[in-house]
Amino acid sequence: MDSHGMRSWIFRIVLQVFILQLSTDIYSYANEEKINEFFQSGHTNNWAVLVDTSRFWFNYRHVANVLSIYRSVKRLGIPDSHIILMVADDMACNPRNPHPGTVFNNANQYINVYGDDVEVDYRGYEVTVENFVRVLTGRLPPSTPRSKRLLSDERSNILVYMTGHGGDGFLKFQDSEEISNVELADAFEQMWQKRRYHEIFFMIDTCQAESMYQKFYSPNILAVASSHVGEDSLSHHVDPAIGVYVIDRYTYYALEFLEQVTPTSKKTLGQFLRVCPQKQCISRVGVRSDLFQRDPENVLLTDFFGSVRNVELLSHTIKLEKITNTLQQNDTCGPSCENKQQAYRDRLSYVNQFPV
């Protein structure tokens, strides 16, 4: 091989090595980007606090609103153990209900949103401003069961949905008391100081709803409201068989969007915030995002409405030194340690499955 051929051969080898290295770097970068995108939300668990504040039969739609959102978040993966449902009146058992045990959100009566598995945590006169604030801040009596507690932490994404009758700067509870926008803002600040949330998505469907988030000052809160200050939030349609309005406009179109979402959906909060333009809602939807650190266009809707767990798969074994050493010590400590040894093994074993 002459010198020219040798140089050409060396050049080809170097070029192949360069291309191989470049391909490896590009793949590694792309893989790293995927990993970063996978874990960028920063949360490890999801909670939902869903509140209907209205009593009386003519407010049937508010119960349908909150039960519809409840049904959506359960379908997308948030379990009842992570949902606090507050319903001020039991429309399903109201004597005026022509279909006892049901609540419908559409005149076609296609879906019974009350269903067979609704777990109401606070009902009737338990739905008060005091109990709502206590749930958010964790200031509940020691006797309160776990099912009525918001057991969130600094890695919790929380959806807070509220519906009822409101005005400029307040939301009525039971037609007997009200929570102000200042009180709500202070409750969220207590949650932040006590590390009870990572991010909050606040969603409210009521008249002059925008006023309820105007006083927020805590970080990592994204808020959407069904109407601006001075505007009414209107109902969508009447069910002639029931004789009352069965759902509000904003919640109706929000649910229409949510019904297209699956646990693996890539739909974003940015898309959701554009739900129900003025030609549909009549009122103008308000959004506040200045306290939120991320771009809603890049935030998955399931970061708040679902419960998708981030999982990292490893190709190697992780040795848990403390547990392994403890078991080894128990194995050599003689018959006197048999009970302790069995206790450690029980801690590291799976529980029996429920019979099918």
The whole-angstrom separation of Cα 137 and Cα 183 is 12
Read off the pTM. Answer: 0.78
Contact call for residues 78 and 307 (beta carbons, < 8 A): yes
Say if 2 falls within a structural domain. Answer: no
Same structural domain, 209 and 326: no
Higher per-residue confidence, 17 vs 267: 267
Which of 5-9, 51-55, 294-298, 321-325 shows the lowest per-residue confidence on average (mean pLDDT)?
321-325
Tell me if residue 207 is catalytic.
Answer: yes
> What percent of the chain stands above pLDDT 70?
77
pLDDT band of 175, cuts 50, 70, 90: confident
pLDDT of residue 355: 43
Say if 189 falls within a structural domain. Answer: yes
Q: Is the predicted pLDDT of residue 354 greater than 50, yes or no?
A: no
Q: Is the predicted pLDDT of residue 348 greater than 60, yes or no?
A: no
Give the C-alpha distances (Å, rounded to integers) separating 245 from 77, 207, 327: 29, 16, 64
| Region 331-346 average pLDDT | 59
pLDDT of residue 111: 84
Same structural domain, 254 and 341: no
Tell me if residue 165 is catalytic.
Answer: yes
Same structural domain, 139 and 267: yes
pLDDT of residue 241: 87
Mean pLDDT, all residues of the chain = 85
Say if 39 falls within a structural domain. Answer: no
pLDDT of residue 352: 47
Same structural domain, 332 and 271: no
In the set 207, 236, 276, 281, the catalytic residue is 207
Same structural domain, 235 and 332: no
Same structural domain, 170 and 77: yes
pLDDT of residue 110: 83
Domain edge (last residue) among 288, 305, 322: 305
Same structural domain, 171 and 262: yes
Same structural domain, 92 and 150: yes
pLDDT of residue 351: 44
Chain centroid to Cα 251, Å, comes to 16
Same structural domain, 220 and 120: yes
pLDDT band of 43, cuts 50, 70, 90: confident
Whole domain around residue 336: which residue ranges? 314-348
pLDDT of residue 34: 52
Could you tell me which residues come within 8 angstroms of residue 285 by beta carbon, excluding any fewer than 6 positions away?
224, 225, 226, 227, 250, 273, 275, 276, 277, 278
| Region 90-112 average pLDDT | 88
Say if 245 falls within a structural domain. Answer: yes
Find the CATH number of the domain harbouring 140.
3.40.50.1460
Query: How many domains, the chain?
Result: 2
Same structural domain, 230 and 339: no
In the set 99, 165, 228, 337, the catalytic residue is 165
Q: Is the predicted pLDDT of residue 19 greater than 80, yes or no?
A: no
Same structural domain, 318 and 301: no
Task: Tell me the pLDDT tens digit for each residue of 188-203.
Answer: 999 999 999 999 999 9
- Residues in the chain, total: 356
Give the C-alpha distances (Å, rounded to integers) separating 71 from 75, 120, 231: 6, 12, 28
Same structural domain, 70 and 153: yes
Task: Tell me the pLDDT tens digit for each residue of 60-85.
Answer: 999 999 999 999 999 999 999 999 99
Task: Tell me the pLDDT tens digit for each residue of 106-136.
Answer: 888 888 898 878 999 999 999 999 999 999 9
